[in-house]
Amino acid sequence: MLSPGDDSYLDDPGPRDACGVFGVWAPGEEVAKLTYYGLYAIQHRGQESAGIAVSNGERIMVFKDMGLVSQVFDEPTLNSLTGHLAVGHCRYSTTGASTWSNAQPTFRGTPDYGIALAHNGNLTNTDELQEWLSTAEEAPEVPRKYRMDSTSDTALVTALLTVHGANGLREGAMEVLPRLKGAFCLVFNNEETLFAARDPQGIHPLVLGRLENGWVVASETAALDIVGATFIREVEPGELISVDASGLSSVRFAEADPKGCLFEYVYLARPDTVIAGRRVHTARVEIGRTLAMEASVDADLVIPTPESGTPSAIGYAEASGIPFGLGLVKNSYVGRTFIQPSQTIRQLGIRLKLNPIRDVIAGKRLVVVDDSIVRGNTQRALVKMLREAGAAEVHVRIASPPVQWPCFFGIDFATRAELIAPGLSEEEICRSIGADSLAYISLEGLVASVGRPMKKLCRACFDGNYPVPIPADRAVEMGLEGERD
């Protein structure tokens, strides 16, 4: 847990999504390389481990390891993964430890076929599912060698598909999927068929694309663009898709009750991705315009916190009439690293990733647009750095409402006790980070900017209205006991 005065940028990386998933069915294509590039496009969704499972119709080969996609795979490895369909995954852990054994895709075998599975999201009823799995494993028709102990919710789903898929993987999925609660975008396969499924709320995005001789599913449309696939549509909430030699088929395992994650628009998704028919960059520019109308200030220059704050800063500058400028340079190569910085370097904090352009900043009254404040450590260090670079005033504007509640659906927010917003007023947060003024966009303004109805969005991290009931033990674990009805 971070102390309130900790200025270390490395220890306050901001909200992170659980994972990115990718799947392709394309006979005659180098499906492992397509998957590699697809994962590369969604690397921002998970940077701890990466893996690819490929089937040639007779067997499934899985290769996975800790690290970035480019660190895990090389040309010889990809050349060895031959087949007609593949499933890929890049992971950031939210359920299960950050270890090789929890890297994905997971793999299990049945007497008739193998199962490789990749998951984005987080399940909320794992205790119930574990009990169901234990009951099934006691059945004499399930051989001991096909049973497993699960350490992540993904492994748990794979185990359930293993023991309930005696009549085929599609049938097993139709039995298992309705029992899952929470957020899940699943891409999985046996030797012949690629499957994709999305939770009834459609909390995180999952899209379907068409290749000249095949199909692709991915977490974001940007991944389709990278591999040359044409966007067809989103995988519908509560839908199971399958692709094999007979073509594409679809079946519904639950009624749709759309509650798309609002934070995807704020931060998680790439700006070139399209969600629910709207490009994320366009939504973020509109968020900035709304923020300027709600929280104007006299200033000389609008600058973003690169890169997630850039579109909203552009919108803020357009609506306010204040010039837009690049006052901070981002080192794009500071991300996931296995080399721990020395204490001397750590004390530099945010400078490892951002460096001010003094000629742009000196003497200016700045509006600094950022996507969110979680703990406050990043903004505190940023304001200090800008003042040291000669800024006359620093006015912080945030392109999302205060983050008040933890996420149970795959975003790694802190517990409620660690979030800065629940314990402090806006004025107190402003003093804490050392800014001259601070303002957030309203929830109503954010929703209007995104262009989707409030009732079709999950905005739980902002208002505490969870679209799926949260088990009492999870609420206690995240510090919610006694906070809500």
Cis, peptide link before residue 105, omega less than 30° from 0: yes
Q: How many CB atoms lie within 10 A of CB 323?
A: 12
**Nearest-angstrom CA–CA distance, 328 and 357:** 6
Report which residue type is found at 138: E
* Residue 19 annotated to the active site: yes
Distance set, CA 376 to CA 248, 310, 372, 449 (Å): 47, 19, 9, 25
Assign 255 to helix, strand or coil: coil
**Nearest-angstrom CA–CA distance, 152 and 341:** 30
Q: What are phi and psi of 359, to 5 degrees?
A: -65, -30
Residues contacting 234, CB < 8 A, separation 6+: 202, 205, 206, 207, 208, 276
Q: Contact, 299 vs 442, CB < 8 A?
A: no
Q: Contact, 350 vs 325, CB < 8 A?
A: no
* The total number of residues written for the chain in this structure: 485
Question: In this structure, are strands 393-398 and 437-440 parallel, antiparallel, or unpaired?
Answer: parallel
User: Catalytic: which of 19, 185, 407, 458?
Assistant: 19
**Which pair of tokens denotes residue 182?**
């929470």
Buried b (16+ CB within 10 A) or exposed e, 182-218: bbbbbbbbbbbbbbbbbbbbbbbbbbbbebeebbbbb
**Nearest-angstrom CA–CA distance, 1 and 18:** 20
Helices (H) and strands (E) in the chain, counts: 17, 23
**Nearest-angstrom CA–CA distance, 45 and 90:** 7
**Nearest-angstrom CA–CA distance, 119 and 103:** 11
Residues contacting 310, CB < 8 A, separation 6+: 304
Assign 5 to helix, strand or coil: coil
Q: What are phi and psi of 309, to 5 degrees?
A: -90, -5
Assign 186 to helix, strand or coil: strand
Q: For residue 350, what is the DSSP state?
A: G
Q: Which residues are catalytic?
A: 19
